Amino acid sequence: MHLSTLLLCLCWGALVGASDGSDWCYTGCEHTPAHWSSISGAFCGGTKQSPINIVTSHAVTDDKLHNFTLVNFSSQHALKSLTNNGHTVKCILEENEVEVKGGGLNATYSSLQFHFHWGDTDHHPGSEHMIDGHRYPMEMHIVSLKKGLTVQQAIADPEGIAVLGFFINATEDGATSQTWDNFTSYLMNISAKDSMVSISHSISIDDLIGDVDLTKFYRYMGSLTTPTCNEAVVWTVFQEPIKVSKNLIKRFPMKTMLSNVYRPTQALNGRHVYASPAIPPSPGHAWCYDDHCAYSPAHWHLLPESHCGGARQSPINIEKKYVVEDQRLDDFTYTKFDDKHAMKYITNTGHTVKAVLKDGMVEVSGGGLGYVYSTLQFHFHWGSTTDGSEGSEHAVDSKKYPMEMHIVNMRKDLTLAEAKVTPTGLAVLGFFIEAADDHKGHGGGSESQEEGSTSNSDHWKKFTSYLSAIQNISSKVEVTEEISIDDLLGDVDRTEYYRYNGSLTTPTCNEAVVWTVFKNPIKMDKDLMKMFPRHAGYHDVYRPQQPLHSRKIYTTAASSAPGPVMMFLLLACFCALSV
Ligand SMILES: *[C@@H]1O[C@H](CO)[C@@H](O)[C@H](O)[C@H]1NC(C)=O
Ligand SMILES: *[C@@H]1O[C@H](CO)[C@@H](O)[C@H](O)[C@H]1NC(C)=O
Ligand SMILES: *[C@@H]1O[C@H](CO)[C@@H](O)[C@H](O)[C@H]1NC(C)=O
Ligand SMILES: *[C@@H]1O[C@H](CO)[C@@H](O)[C@H](O)[C@H]1NC(C)=O
Ligand SMILES: *[C@@H]1O[C@H](CO)[C@@H](O)[C@H](O)[C@H]1NC(C)=O
Ligand SMILES: *[C@@H]1O[C@H](CO)[C@@H](O)[C@H](O)[C@H]1NC(C)=O
Ligand SMILES: *[C@@H]1O[C@H](CO)[C@@H](O)[C@H](O)[C@H]1NC(C)=O
Ligand SMILES: [Zn+2]
Ligand SMILES: [Zn+2]
């Protein structure tokens, strides 16, 4: 078969030979879309089918989706003929003239044809893809085969075919484009099935696309949207619609007698939809720690009002050899850390478990902070339910811990809005959490250590018993039992810590945090640690470590040697003064 003849009869259905695909339709025959899966030799019942509804807040930004290179889209003689194949209207392109590459595609694709999907004359919309449940009046598909492959080879390759999908939106009458008027004027010559008309006007694909921003698009792997529905298509769906006047859109159903020529949307079945970085943040602006949402940690900087791309971000890896001693880092003063009724409620935020404290009650000062801070809440970062999982945010000499607890404090002289834009506005006390030695009979452990971890464990048992009540995201539970922050911290040494200037570790990552990371970890039973991922319903809730850039990390002065001397001097001073 001569190639041009092949191209003439090449339509979605006939891509693999006419026999099986020819007896399908959108309405009025045995094989309507709901029954395409029973067409023999077809893949319409597969798990990677097209079209789909694109949920913009679930689209994952992919930096590799940069600009397309569209070769000869501006050519005035690439459009050869228009044909009505009984399912759609298809424009055949000149051979080896138009190409598509870039845009995150792995190969160069040769464009063969473009065709349309539409609704009916009563303005029922007929795009195939939907955006957040919205169906546009029409959709245009530019179909290209991976260069060098035959049709047979391309439909057997999961990325053998690239389709560029453009929505078409209806504009009010009057804003008629001459290009679309000329183009749609050919529809009157192809009202009969299998009729064909040569295109004599000078029309380029660019003229048809108009001012659509080609840097804004969605990408997913799918299928042909007509039988035999081969799962061989790299889909590109542009966000901005082409604008065509209502009257011209109406010509498609009117002149061809074909209406509602679109396939219903298909299940995503776990596939991901990616968005090019040029797409502005969606109002849902969902962020998460993995890549199953619009904004994974690598894309937090694209969120509205985000500081996540800044130069003093947290968490960091603390490299001991670069840490500098600072004599000003003295002991903290804790107010009401021992209050057993300071906790208001515990909530599951969808990103962490957070204990919110009563207003204006708990405070922290000293520790070289220079201000009095009000304690607002504490929350946790964790890994998975697997033994040995590392879910802390900070690390010391690259050692991560199973969990990390953050006690968040705000400068007392500021409002929250002010604190978030002040470099010292917030102070976070970070405690690593490590597994308590739960093998009781295990030799070597001193008696006092065992006692310590047992009593601490009772408080954590009490605290974690609330987790089963907040399995639903946004749910909260009131704390009725007596439990203080000191109870949870136990006897962990709070005199030795690291200090650096950083940020919140969740969006919007404001660079307003004076960080304190205590050297000695809290101990918690392994089984209690596992209750965090198990009950919250998510795991690995920690941000990857951020570059230090030019920041310095300070540490409390080595305590053992100067300690007694300091104490002696202090006592001497005190005595001198008081006597
Ligand atoms: C991509 O397109 C944008 C807008 O048209 C342009 O500013 C940018 O330079 C292009 N980038 C590349 C790599 O071509
Ligand atoms: C683009 O069009 C020109 C003019 O028709 C043609 O010579 C050239 O081969 C085309 N480019 C490609 C890559 O097909
Ligand atoms: C490009 O190739 C990679 C690696 O084989 C594959 O994972 C990816 O899906 C391909 N992307 C496209 C758009 O074909
Ligand atoms: C589509 O057109 C309608 C009416 O002409 C307009 O209200 C709507 O904003 C347009 N949508 C887009 C995304 O351009
Ligand atoms: C298309 O149809 C119109 C009206 O019937 C006719 O005047 C015109 O010559 C036709 N054009 C072609 C290219 O056949
Ligand atoms: C969680 O939500 C479901 C459905 O919304 C509800 O049936 C269930 O009782 C809730 N569970 C808790 C612990 O609140
Ligand atoms: C943090 O930044 C402030 C200035 O905003 C500076 O005075 C202070 O020394 C810095 N602290 C550390 C630990 O780098
Ligand atoms: Zn199509
Ligand atoms: Zn935190």
| DSSP string across 167-183 | EEEEEPTT---HHHHHH
Atom of ligand 6 nearest to the CA of 468: 13
Q: Answer whether residue 565 is part of any domain.
A: no
Buried b (16+ CB within 10 A) or exposed e, 329-355: beebebebbebeebbbbbbbeebbbbb
Helix, strand, coil percentages in the chain from 3-state DSSP, rounded to 5: 20, 25, 50
* Domain total in the chain: 2
Q: Answer whether residue 167 is part of any domain.
A: yes
**Would you give the DSSP letter of residue 292?**
S
Q: Given this model, what pLDDT does residue 323 score?
A: 97
Phi/psi-derived region of residue 249, left when phi > 0, alpha when psi is between -120 and 50, beta in every other case: alpha
CATH number, domain containing residue 436: 3.10.200.10
Q: Given this model, what pLDDT does residue 562 score?
A: 43
Instruction: Check whether residue 324 and residue 206 sit in a common domain.
Output: no
Q: Is the dihedral of CA 16, 18, 21, 26 positive or negative?
A: positive
Q: Which amino acid is at 528?
A: L
Smallest CA separation from ligand 6 atom 1, residue:
472
Q: Quick one: tokens of 369?
A: 């902070």
Q: Please choose from 500, 501, 503, 552 the residue to mutate so as to test ligand 7's pocket, defined by most ligand atoms within 8 A of CB.
A: 501
Smallest CA separation from ligand 6 atom 7, residue:
472
- Of the candidates 558, 555, 578, the one whose C-alpha atom is nearest the C-alpha of residue 566 is 558
Instruction: Check whether residue 148 and residue 250 sit in a common domain.
Output: yes
Atom of ligand 1 nearest to the CA of 215: 2
Please give the distance, rounded to the nearest whole angstrom, from the Cα atom of residue 472 to the centre of ligand 6: 6
Please give the distance, rounded to the nearest whole angstrom, from the Cα atom of residue 212 to the centre of ligand 1: 14
Phi first, then psi: give them for residue 310, nearest 5 degrees.
Answer: -70, 180
- The rounded average pLDDT for each run of 10 residues, N- to C-terminus, in the chain (579 residues) is 36 41 84 93 96 86 92 97 97 97 97 98 94 95 97 96 97 80 96 96 96 97 97 98 95 96 94 89 73 85 91 98 96 97 95 96 97 98 94 98 98 96 97 79 42 68 96 90 95 96 96 98 95 93 97 86 46 44
Instruction: Check whether residue 333 and residue 269 sit in a common domain.
Output: no
Q: Given this model, what pLDDT does residue 455 score?
A: 60
- 468 Cβ below 6 A of ligand 6: no
Q: Is the dihedral of CA 186, 191, 192, 194 positive or negative?
A: positive
Instruction: Check whether residue 394 and residue 245 sit in a common domain.
Output: no
Q: Given this model, what pLDDT does residue 445 score?
A: 40
Please give the distance, rounded to the nearest whole angstrom, from the Cα atom of residue 2 to the centre of ligand 2: 21
CB neighbours (10 Å) of residue 97?
Answer: 15
Q: What number of helices (H) and strands (E) belong to the chain? A: 11, 31
Give the separation between CA 25 and CA 174, rounded to whole angstroms.
34
Question: Domain range spanning residue 454?
Answer: 297-556
- 96 Cβ below 6 A of ligand 2: yes
- 153 Cβ below 6 A of ligand 2: no
Phi/psi-derived region of residue 8, left when phi > 0, alpha when psi is between -120 and 50, beta in every other case: alpha
Give the separation between CA 518 and CA 492, rounded to whole angstroms.
9
User: Of the bound ligands, which one is closest to the alpha carbon of residue 168?
Assistant: 4
User: Of the bound ligands, which one is closest to the alpha carbon of residue 198?
Assistant: 5
Largest Cα separation within the chain, whole Å, is: 113
- Contact status, residue 244 vs residue 170, Cβ threshold 8 Å: yes
Q: Given this model, what pLDDT does residue 447 score?
A: 42
Atom of ligand 3 nearest to the CA of 219: 13
Tokens 């978030």 belong to residue: 420
Cis amide prior to 480 (ω within 30 degrees): no
Q: Quick one: tokens of 553?
A: 């990390």
- Contact status, residue 404 vs residue 542, Cβ threshold 8 Å: yes
Instruction: Check whether residue 223 and residue 344 sit in a common domain.
Output: no
Atom of ligand 3 nearest to the CA of 107: 14
Give the separation between CA 117 and CA 141, rounded to whole angstroms.
8
Q: Which residues pair with 335 in a beta bridge?
A: 363
DSSP 231-271: S-EEEEEESSPEEEEHHHHHHHHHHH------PPP---TT-
Q: Answer whether residue 288 is part of any domain.
A: no
Q: Which residues contact 310 (CB under 8 A, 6 or more apart)?
A: 503, 509, 511
Instruction: Check whether residue 307 and residue 239 sit in a common domain.
Output: no
Q: Answer whether residue 460 is part of any domain.
A: yes
User: Of the bound ligands, which one is closest to the alpha carbon of residue 204?
Assistant: 2
Q: Answer whether residue 576 is part of any domain.
A: no
Instruction: Check whether residue 265 and residue 325 sit in a common domain.
Output: no
Instruction: Check whether residue 259 and residue 190 sit in a common domain.
Output: yes
The answer to whether the predicted template modeling score (pTM) of the entire model surpasses 0.75 is: no
Q: Quick one: tokens of 25?
A: 């339709």
Q: Which residues pair with 167 in a beta bridge?
A: 139
Q: Given this model, what pLDDT does residue 559 score?
A: 59
Smallest CA separation from ligand 6 atom 3, residue:
472
Phi first, then psi: give them for residue 558, nearest 5 degrees.
Answer: -55, 125
Instruction: Check whether residue 263 and residue 306 sit in a common domain.
Output: no
Q: Answer whether residue 291 is part of any domain.
A: no
Q: Answer whether residue 564 is part of any domain.
A: no
Q: Answer whether residue 475 is part of any domain.
A: yes
- 72 Cβ below 6 A of ligand 2: yes
Phi first, then psi: give them for residue 333, nearest 5 degrees.
Answer: -110, 125
Q: Measuring from each residue's beta carbon to the nearest atom of ligand 4, which residues come in under 6 Å?
A: 169-171, 241
Instruction: Check whether residue 215 and residue 334 sit in a common domain.
Output: no
Instruction: Check whether residue 322 and residue 464 sit in a common domain.
Output: yes
Residue 373's SS3 state is: strand
Please give the distance, rounded to the nearest whole angstrom, from the Cα atom of residue 505 to the centre of ligand 9: 6
Instruction: Check whether residue 22 and residue 68 sit in a common domain.
Output: yes
